Amino acid sequence: MPDINLTIRYLRIFSGMILFVYVVTHLANHSLGIISLSAMEAGRVIFLNFWRSTAIAYTLYGALIVHLIVGIYALCVRKTTKLSFKEWVRNISAVLIPFFLASHLAMTLYGSRVLNLSDNYHFMIVVTWVFDPVGVAGLTVMLILVWVHAAIGIHGLLQFRQFYIYNRRLVLAFYWLFPTLALLGYYSAGMEAKGKASLNADFILETLVNSRYSDEIGKEILRMSNLGQFQIFPLVLISILSFYFARFLWTRSRRDLRVTYPNGKVTSVSKGTSILEASQQAGLSHESVCGGRGRCTTCRIKVLSDITDLPPPNQIEKRVIDRLKFDENVRLACQLRIKKDIKVVPLISLSKQETGNIRFQTQSRMAGTESRIVVLFTDLRGFTQLSDSKLPYDVVYILNKYFRFVVQAIEANKGKVDKFIGDGVMAIFNDQNDLSEACKNSINAAADISKGLEKLNIELQSEIENELRIGIGIHMGNAIVGQMGYGKTSSETAIGDTVNVASRLEQLTKEHKCELIISKALGDAAKVKLEHFTKTSVNIRGKKDLMKALILEKASDHAIYKTQ
Ligand code: FES
């Protein structure tokens, strides 16, 4: 049986996306007013050919109705009025938009579809700018409300996507420039219409006649507009508010379940309240970076009381739990709706100061994002024995020489040193435009590191008894890339299974007595000839199945294949 929450979420997203595309194209059409009214009309022909074709038009109306219904549903089922500023803005704009939209739809949709009026830009601009200054203000307010509502929704949907975070300036420019250009277009067209009206006494009459406008049509549009704005809108709003408050009072009287927090704080809630809502109701700071959409895990909690009677995870939560392999007593507070008393501890609980310091925020690339990256690990073999037989200064000297060529090899192949771990190095190749190139570069870097070591061994011939050896492991896959750490010590790094596997492959070079092991997935993605590698299967700790891998005894042997 489909999960109702997931279904509603998808309905909201898909209907919202359709409406957003409509709004973007509509505003782009408005922007043409900066050029001229005629340019707006020309743009409108393309706009209407698409949006008023039967199938698309019904999809659009359907999306509008669905978005309205799921929005009302979301408002009605909300158990707390404690909202963030962004949520308040989104909800208030959602409530006000229908009021302004009613008059606009009466003119455009009802006028064109029922009264056979041509709602072209000349007509729309003339009737507002020449006859109805309040209408100009109304359309301006509606445009701003629609855009703010849409922008908050789109931001919530995309805020964790890498392209969104990495192109933040572009995104911001889009959010600000788009409505500004649309308003400038609308205002410029208004000025043009007024200018034409003052120069040509027949301009207004011609515009009205061309639009098939008559006094009867005007009265009918006004009647429909008033019906929508002053009868249907207040009625629906009062119904929703009445329902919400009746439900609020009813659930308040039934707050017979207790949520206990570690500091001894206890809050009473009604059945079906989510733990996140309970925390908000209790005035506790409970992280919820994605706003309760089950997309971030910052709200996760550990359940300290008996977990046997907990409701099973819904599909949104299950997807996260399966993927991140949470313990069975770790749940998402925004998704877990309680049916009995419960004792929990939020696992990420930040004070305001901490929130500022812990660099793991949503507003920039500091947000962790999931990306496909390449991770390379190197480790110097036998270095411990060497350090035992050398003076510390000599050890530092050798180590620095080693680090120099390793870093040079990684950077020359467009990688980035992520961290030094003792005598080991972790590097990331994160080319989001061409992952195949990143894979190829990482193997080339391994070859260059091996060549660097050969040179170092020649240099140190007279000083060391045994040659230095190296182990390198490389793997590619999904990892969370983000700014992690505390205060000034935070830096961008990657975590996740891909990192662990790369590290494990590096360790396996000892067992296989070779310099380089790469995963087969990486080898395939690199799209280069790798016949000089030996195919094998390796055991990765924590994984049930053997993993296909490719082995090269001397990584520098790959250098001769580099150009292929
Ligand atoms: S708030 Fe993001 S998953 Fe719960």
332 lines ligand 1 (CB under 6 A): yes
∠515-521-524 over CA atoms, to 5°? 95
Domains of the chain with bracketed CATH: 4-250 (1.20.1300), 257-356 (3.10.20.30), 368-561 (3.30.70.1230)
Q: Identify the pLDDT of residue 357.
A: 40
pLDDT digits (tens, 9 = 90+) for 338-363: 989 999 988 875 444 444 443 334 34
More confident residue, 449 or 421: 449
Report CA(57)–ligand 1 centroid distance (Å): 35
Q: Identify the pLDDT of residue 6.
A: 77
Extended beta strands in 393-458, E state: 416-421, 424-429
Which residues contact residue 266 at a Cβ distance below 8 angstroms, ignoring those fewer than 6 apart?
258, 259, 260
**Residue 113 near residue 224 (C-beta atoms within 8 A):** no
Q: Identify the pLDDT of residue 21.
A: 96
Give one DSSP letter per residue of 347-371, joined into a string: SS---HHHHHHB---SSSTTS-EEE
Tell me the percentage of the chain whose pLDDT exceeds 70. 91
Report long-range pairs for 531-540 (Cβ below 8 Å, ≥24 apart). 532/557, 532/558, 532/561, 536/512, 538/505, 538/508, 538/512, 540/501, 540/504, 540/505
301 lines ligand 1 (CB under 6 A): no
| pLDDT surpassing 80 at residue 564 | no
Q: Identify the pLDDT of residue 355.
A: 42
| pLDDT surpassing 60 at residue 279 | yes
Q: Identify the pLDDT of residue 413.
A: 94
Element (H, E) at 269: strand 266-269
| pLDDT surpassing 90 at residue 187 | yes
Residue 145 CA to residue 424 CA, distance in Å, equals: 54
Report CA(320)–ligand 1 centroid distance (Å): 10
Atom of ligand 1 nearest to the CA of 294: 3
Residue 563 CA to residue 552 CA, distance in Å, equals: 18
Atom of ligand 1 nearest to the CA of 298: 2
Report CA(307)–ligand 1 centroid distance (Å): 20
Least confident of 44-53, 55-64, 279-288, 488-497: 488-497
Report CA(300)–ligand 1 centroid distance (Å): 7
∠553-559-563 over CA atoms, to 5°? 140
Nearest to 552 by CA among 525, 518, 524, 520: 518
298 lines ligand 1 (CB under 6 A): yes
Mutate to test the pocket of ligand 1, among 86, 297, 350 (most ligand atoms within 8 A of CB): 297
b/e 491-506 (16+ beta carbons within 10 angstroms → b) = ebbbebbbbbbbbbbb
Q: pLDDT class for 453, splitting at 50, 70, 90?
A: very high
Mutate to test the pocket of ligand 1, among 9, 84, 296, 361 (most ligand atoms within 8 A of CB): 296
Query: Ligand 1: which residue has its CA nearest to atom 3?
Result: 294
Averaged pLDDT of the chain: 86
Q: Identify the pLDDT of residue 325.
A: 74
Q: pLDDT class for 365, splitting at 50, 70, 90?
A: very low
Residue 476 CA to residue 182 CA, distance in Å, equals: 44
**Residue 71 near residue 244 (C-beta atoms within 8 A):** no
Mutate to test the pocket of ligand 1, among 160, 277, 318, 334 (most ligand atoms within 8 A of CB): 334
Q: Identify the pLDDT of residue 400.
A: 87
Q: Three-class SS of residue 272?
A: coil
pLDDT digits (tens, 9 = 90+) for 294-307: 877 778 898 999 88
Q: Identify the pLDDT of residue 359.
A: 37
φ/ψ of 128, rounded to 5, equals -85, -50
Atom of ligand 1 nearest to the CA of 292: 1
**What's the burial of 213, exposed, middle or buried (CB within 10 Å: 0-12/13-18/19+)?**
buried
Atom of ligand 1 nearest to the CA of 290: 2
Tell me the percentage of the chain whose pLDDT exceeds 90. 52
What angle in degrees, to the nearest 10, is found between the helix axes of 54-77 and 233-253?
A: 30
| Mean pLDDT of the region 516-523 | 94
Q: Identify the pLDDT of residue 490.
A: 67
For residue 184, the number of C-alpha atoms closer than 13 Å in the C-beta half-sphere is 11
| pLDDT surpassing 80 at residue 465 | no
| pLDDT surpassing 80 at residue 482 | no
Tokens describing residue 419: 């961290």
| pLDDT surpassing 80 at residue 164 | no
Tokens describing residue 556: 């520098």
Which residues contact residue 544 at a Cβ distance below 8 angstroms, ignoring those fewer than 6 apart?
none
More confident residue, 485 or 109: 109
Kindly report whether the global pTM for this prediction surpasses the value 0.75.
Answer: no
Mutate to test the pocket of ligand 1, among 289, 314, 336 (most ligand atoms within 8 A of CB): 289
| pLDDT surpassing 50 at residue 249 | yes
More confident residue, 24 or 329: 24
Least confident of 75-84, 123-132, 454-463, 501-510: 75-84
Q: Identify the pLDDT of residue 561.
A: 67
First to last CA, the chain: 53
Report CA(281)–ligand 1 centroid distance (Å): 16
For residue 455, the number of C-alpha atoms closer than 13 Å in the C-beta half-sphere is 12
Q: pLDDT class for 201, splitting at 50, 70, 90?
A: confident
Atom of ligand 1 nearest to the CA of 320: 3
Report CA(335)–ligand 1 centroid distance (Å): 8
pLDDT digits (tens, 9 = 90+) for 312-345: 998 888 888 887 777 888 899 999 999 899 999 8
Residue 225 CA to residue 231 CA, distance in Å, equals: 10
Q: Identify the pLDDT of residue 2.
A: 61
Atom of ligand 1 nearest to the CA of 297: 3
Residue 22 CA to residue 31 CA, distance in Å, equals: 14
321 lines ligand 1 (CB under 6 A): no
289 lines ligand 1 (CB under 6 A): yes
275 lines ligand 1 (CB under 6 A): no
Q: Identify the pLDDT of residue 443.
A: 95
Question: Identity (one letter) of the amino acid at 491?
Answer: S
279 lines ligand 1 (CB under 6 A): no
**Residue 259 near residue 342 (C-beta atoms within 8 A):** yes
Which residues sit opposite 429 in a β-bridge? 374
Q: Identify the pLDDT of residue 166.
A: 67
Neighbours of 85 (CB within 10 A): 7
Mutate to test the pocket of ligand 1, among 288, 318, 326 (most ligand atoms within 8 A of CB): 288
334 lines ligand 1 (CB under 6 A): yes
